[in-house]
């Protein structure tokens, strides 16, 4: 028995990678760290922007790593345990995380800023030119 997927139509060609990405996203259930995604209005005729804000309280700039790899934005946080401190109660763990966001074609990361325990990553997608190309038809006898 074959499985029906949204991309199983014969009219949708080359979307295999998108289907695998959607399956991977559906399986990931980690909700740490919490985050917001907001749309920032276009200003002065510039492209619309997005901002991803992650709650990373307790992480210093040196503990965080923001990278893009192919079509993914990857945010990693690594804290090391301070063995010199003696805790009577430890409710705040030095927890590592990795949060991935899949980016559409053309999305660019503008920059990242850490302020008051919130890491903000700004993205935009410049308007692309509409490309129309005539395909020549060859006739073979």
- Tell whether pTM > 0.75: no
Per DSSP, the three-state class of 102 is: strand
Domain ranges within the chain, ordered by starting residue: 30-80+93-123
pLDDT tens by residue, 4-47: 666 677 777 777 777 776 676 666 667 788 999 999 876 666 67
What DSSP designation does 138 have?
P
Q: Are 9 and 18 in contact (CB under 8 A)?
A: no
- 30-80+93-123 CATH fold: Immunoglobulin-like (2.60.40)
In the block, tokens 């289907």 appear at 19
């Amino acid at each position: 028995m074959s499985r029906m997927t949204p991309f199983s139509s014969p009219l949708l060609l080359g979307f295999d990678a998108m289907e695998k990405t959607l399956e991977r996203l559906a399986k990931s259930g980690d909700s740490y760290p919490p985050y917001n995604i907001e749309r920032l209005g276009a200003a002065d005729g510039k492209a619309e922007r997005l901002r991803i804000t992650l709650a990373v309280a307790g992480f210093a700039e040196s503990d965080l790593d923001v990278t893009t790899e192919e079509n993914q934005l990857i945010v990693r946080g690594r804290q090391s345990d301070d063995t010199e401190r003696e805790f009577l109660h430890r409710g705040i763990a030095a927890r590592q995380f990795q949060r991935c966001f899949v980016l559409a074609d053309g999305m660019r990361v503008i920059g990242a800023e850490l302020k008051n325990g919130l890491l903000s990553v700004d993205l935009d997608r410049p308007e692309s030119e509409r490309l129309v190309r005539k395909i020549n038809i060859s006739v073979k006898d």
